[in-house]
Structure 1
Amino acid sequence: MKKSLQMVTATVALSILSATSPAMAETKASTPFKCKPGETYYMNVMVSGVEYWFPVYEMMKEAARSMGCKTVYTGTPEYDVNKQLASFEQILAKKPAGILLHPMNPDPFIEPINRAAEMGIPVVTFAADSPNSKRVSFITSDNYQEGKFAADAVAEDMGGKGEYAVLENPGQDNHDRRVSAFIARMKSKWPDMKLVSRAASNTDATKAYNSVMTMAQAHPNLGAVFMPEATSAMGAAQAAKELGGKIRVFNADVNAKILDMIKQGEIFGAVNPNQGMQGYMGMMLLYMAAHPGLIDPMNDHDRAGYNPMSVPFVDNGFSIVTKANADDFYWDKYLAKRGTKGINE
Structure 2
Amino acid sequence: MKFSSIIYVLLVFSFLTMTALSIYYYLQIQQDKVKISQAVSSGTPLPDYHFALIGEELDHDYWRLVGKGAKQNETEYDVFVEYEGPERSNPEEQLKLLDKAIKKKVDGIIVQALNDEFTPLIDLAVGKGIPVITIDTDSPDSLRSAYIGTDNYAAGQLAGKALIEDTGGEAVVGIVTGRFNNTHHSLRVEGFRDVIEQEAGIDIVAIEESNIDRIGAEEKAHNMLTEHKEITALYGTSALDGTGISEAAESLDRQDLYVITFDTLEENLRLLEKGKVDALVEQQPWKMGHQSVKIMTDLINEKQVKKIHHTNSSIVRKQNLPYRQDLRGGRQ
When you count helix as a share of all residues, which structure comes out higher?
Answer: 2
1:308-323 map, 5 Å: 309=304, 311-323=306-318
Cα distance, 1:94–1:38 mapped onto 2, change above 3 Å: farther
State which of 157, 177, 180 in structure 1 corresponds to 2:166: 157
Separation (CA, whole Å) in 1 of partners of 2:265 and 2:283: 12
Separation (CA, whole Å) in 1 of partners of 2:222 and 2:58: 30
In structure 1, the partner of 2:189 is 179
SS in 2 for 1:311: coil
Separation (CA, whole Å) in 2 of partners of 1:77 and 1:242: 29
Separation (CA, whole Å) in 2 of partners of 1:67 and 1:80: 30
SS in 2 for 1:237: helix
Q: Contact between 2:77 and 2:294, CA under 8 Å: does it hold in 1?
A: no
Q: CA deviation at 1:257?
A: 1.5
Please, what is the CA RMSD of the aligned residues?
2.1
Q: CA deviation at 1:36?
A: 7.8
Q: CA deviation at 1:152?
A: 1.8
Aligned residue pair count: 283
In structure 1, the partner of 2:122 is 113
Separation (CA, whole Å) in 2 of partners of 1:141 and 1:80: 21
Unaligned runs of 5+ in 2: 1-44
Q: CA deviation at 1:79?
A: 2.1
State which of 262, 266, 270 in structure 1 corresponds to 2:272: 262
Separation (CA, whole Å) in 1 of partners of 2:225 and 2:245: 11
Separation (CA, whole Å) in 2 of partners of 1:184 and 1:39: 43
TM-score by length of 2: 0.79
SS in 2 for 1:260: helix
Higher relative contact order (CA 8 A, sep 6+): 1
Q: What percentage of aligned pairs have identical amino acids?
A: 24
Separation (CA, whole Å) in 1 of partners of 2:136 and 2:202: 29
Q: Tell me which amino acid in the other structure corresponds to 1:42.
A: A
SS in 2 for 1:79: coil
Separation (CA, whole Å) in 2 of partners of 1:141 and 1:334: 17
In structure 2, the partner of 1:12 is none
Q: Tell me which amino acid in the other structure corresponds to 1:315.
A: H
Q: Contact between 2:56 and 2:63, CA under 8 Å: does it hold in 1?
A: no
Separation (CA, whole Å) in 2 of partners of 1:275 and 1:118: 29
Q: CA deviation at 1:171?
A: 0.9
Q: CA deviation at 1:310?
A: 5.3
State which of 305, 312, 329 in structure 1 corresponds to 2:327: 329
Q: Contact between 1:274 and 1:319, CA under 8 Å: does it hold in 2?
A: no
State which of 188, 204, 228 in structure 2 corresponds to 1:219: 228
State which of 33, 53, 56 in structure 2 corresponds to 1:46: 56
Q: Tell me which amino acid in the other structure corresponds to 2:308.
A: F
Q: Contact between 2:51 and 2:82, CA under 8 Å: does it hold in 1?
A: yes
Q: Contact between 1:205 and 1:235, CA under 8 Å: does it hold in 2?
A: yes
SS in 2 for 1:76: coil
Separation (CA, whole Å) in 1 of partners of 2:312 and 2:217: 27
TM-score by length of 1: 0.76
Separation (CA, whole Å) in 1 of partners of 2:123 and 2:108: 13
Q: CA deviation at 1:238?
A: 0.6
In structure 1, the partner of 2:205 is 196
Q: Note the alpha carbon deviations across 1:52-85, whole angstroms, 9 max, x for none.
A: 1222222323333212222221112132222111
Cα distance, 1:197–1:334 mapped onto 2, change above 3 Å: closer
Unaligned runs of 5+ in 1: 1-34, 296-308, 339-345
In structure 1, the partner of 2:151 is 142
Separation (CA, whole Å) in 2 of partners of 1:125 and 1:253: 20
Separation (CA, whole Å) in 1 of partners of 2:224 and 2:172: 11
Separation (CA, whole Å) in 1 of partners of 2:144 and 2:79: 21
Q: CA deviation at 1:283?
A: 1.4
Matched, 1:95 2:105: yes
1:27-66 map, 5 Å: 37-66=47-76
Q: Tell me which amino acid in the other structure corresponds to 2:326.
A: D
Q: Note the alpha carbon deviations across 1:176-220, whole angstroms, 9 max, x for none.
A: 1111111110112x2211112111222122232222222222332
State which of 234, 244, 248 in structure 2 corresponds to 1:239: 248
Q: Tell me which amino acid in the other structure corresponds to 1:118.
A: G
Q: Contact between 1:179 and 1:227, CA under 8 Å: does it hold in 2?
A: no
Q: Contact between 1:162 and 1:192, CA under 8 Å: does it hold in 2?
A: yes
